[in-house]
Structure 1
Amino acid sequence: MKLGCMQTLRVIKKVDFGVYLADKDQAKAEERVLLPKKQVPDQTIVGDEIEVFLYRDSKDRMIATTTHPFITLNEIAVLTVKEVGRIGAFLDWGLEKDLLLPYKEQTRKVHEGDEILVRLYIDKSNRLCASTRGIYEGLSTNPPYQIGDEVEGRVYEFGHDFGTFLAIDDKYSAMIPKHEDTSHLQLGDVITVEVTGIKEDGKLDVSMRKKAYMQMDDDAERIMDLIESYAGVLPFTEKATPEIIFRETGLSKAAFKRAVGRLYKERRIQITDGKIRKAD
């Protein structure tokens, strides 16, 4: 009998509170598990075979259910956070007892109502738990997309040294490069992105940004808002280091330079003494 899996077991005994099941292929029923009475199909007799899912109840006992959960062992699925408690978050996986997502298995803090991508695993205490780690390895690398396609992806991990990781259509592996500002995103957010590259191993490179000529207007307005927040004088120009520019604006140096050039041509700014000033 396998914890966390749908499987067909044989009825070996009927009792007032349900039936006991065992592996149908075993000559002797060395292990058995209870299927509660409310789950037992009508007219069930000893010897019948029933498809069930095995998990642990609130008293940590192995128990069977005929309900198909939203996720099974080693699978990846999108589940909803029902509440956040002292030991972690509890997820709705279609069964009476909610599924625990321990704090140590959260790559970012989750909140009630979040819809997040998780993996089902067995912990050291032989209990089923959810994890937001290890999603990367379980996603498909055979995407049906082409460069230039607009697709939807769900954020499942923030890898600061590389970028932000998405599951396109909750199935295919993709990454937003680190030079794009994703600080406004949370775990589970679904966003529209453009496919900008397909690696040899099938993983996707994607971007939240529009094509340069379309993005420039948005970036220019972003810089004007930033200048306003600095009382009309931005204390650096496009000659600043890429790190400073990204830290202050969330833009790459190239994007910043394009937007500043647009504002300068429109005479909305002046560039003097290593500073960008709002034009009079």
Structure 2
Amino acid sequence: MSIKLGKFNQLEVVKEVDFGMYLDGGEEGEILLPSRYVPEDCKVGDMLNVFLYLDIDERLVATTLTPLVQVGEFACLEVAWVNEYGAFLKWGLMKDLFVPFGEQKMKMQVGNKYIIHAHIDEESYRIVASAKVDRYLSKETPEYQPGDEVDVLIWQKTDLGFKAIIDNKFGGLLYDSEIFQPLHTGMELKAFVKQVREDGKIDLILQKPGFEKVGDFSKDLLQYIKDHEGHIALTDKSPAEDIYAIFGVSKKTFKKAVGDLYKKRVVALEEKGIRLVRP
């Protein structure tokens, strides 16, 4: 059995001591799970799902806490403190996550948050982080199809829009012209693949593309109007932010849905809103 440092492992409890439980770490020997993390009624022979990392004395130790990032993942973390060697990030464990100065794009400041990638340092065998996330994004050709839903982490603002990290693996871009809600670095949300370009770059949008989405929203919009006494104080000239705050869709989708209902002669368009004309 080989254990995975910086990840969760299923390990068997093999010994109970006053200060915790020892787990079977295979070739790494017995690994301590300190008392504070031992589940109630835990006994020898139980299998536990534990996260493995190195304590302040560089000893392999287990915890049942869930860190904010695991090895191989990206996250947005806050700097807890800085010394002459680098910065240390809060990641939900007693020992903070180290970022050497050489792995910082700019000198990290206490209290600020940064997008990082967690990995194992090959020389020291320690879990470390790097703010130079570009080098850790996959160079593989993405196999996404237009319309695929993905998890994204907003990475940084650019002249074109916002860079995002997709499914903890690929880089993507949300264009300013297609963003209809406030975004900021570190935000995690769902998005959809608009296209995968020939060079492998991925364009993203915040809602599922195609008329099917508009058709679905047309039904939701009609029901909303009915639920609000047959009238809403929104028009196709309303700010995109107001539309998104109420319906969670872009102004473009809202306008298409309104047009769909208008063509069906279900609603009337007025200067200060939209009114239901028949049930």
User: TM-score with structure 2 length normalisation?
Assistant: 0.54
The answer to whether structure 1 residue 20 and structure 2 residue 22 are counterparts is yes
2:127 maps to which residue? 128
Distance of aligned partners of 1:129 and 1:168 in 2 relative to their CA distance in 1, 3 Å threshold? closer
Residues 13 and 42 (structure 1), Cα distance of their counterparts in 2 relative to 1, 3 Å cut = same
Aligned length: 179
Which residue number in structure 2 is paired with residue 96 of structure 1? 94
Counterparts of 1:56 and 1:97 in 2: how far apart (Å)? 8
1:109 matched to 2:107? The reply is yes
Matches within 5 A, 1:17-166: 17-23=19-25, 31-123=29-121, 124-135=123-134, 137-138=136-137, 142=144, 153-155=154-156, 166=163
Instruction: Give 5+ residue unaligned stretches, structure 2.
Output: 175-184, 188-194, 205-279
Q: 1:67 corresponds to which letter in structure 2? A: L
- Residue 66 of structure 1 aligns with an amino acid whose one-letter code is T
Please name the residue that 1:2 is paired with: 4
Residues of 2 paired with 1:143 and 1:118: CA distance?
Answer: 27
CA distance in 2, matches of 1:202, 1:75: 21
RMSD: 3.7
* Equivalence for 1:244: none
SS of alignment partner, residue 44 of structure 1: coil
Identical columns (%): 39
**Structure 1 residue ranges (4+ consecutive) displaced by more than 3 angstroms after TM superposition:** 134-137, 139-145, 168-172
Cα displacement (A) at 1:167: 2.3
> Structure 1 regions of 5+ residues with no counterpart?
146-150, 177-187, 191-196, 207-280
Helix, strand or coil: the match of 2:92?
A: coil
Q: How does 1:207-226 map to 2 (within 5 A)?
A: none
Describe the shift of the 1:108–1:202 C-alpha distance in structure 2 as closer, same or farther (beyond 3 A): same
Structure 1 pair 132/189, CA: closer, same or farther in 2 (3 Å)? same
CA distance in 2, matches of 1:128, 1:12: 26
Which letter maps to 1:14? E
8 Å contact 1:57–1:97 — kept in the other structure?
yes
- Aligned residues of 2:13 and 2:21 also touching (Cα < 8 A): yes
CA contact (8 A) 1:154 1:169 kept: no
Rg: which structure is higher? 1
Deviation at 1:135, TM superposition (A): 3.7
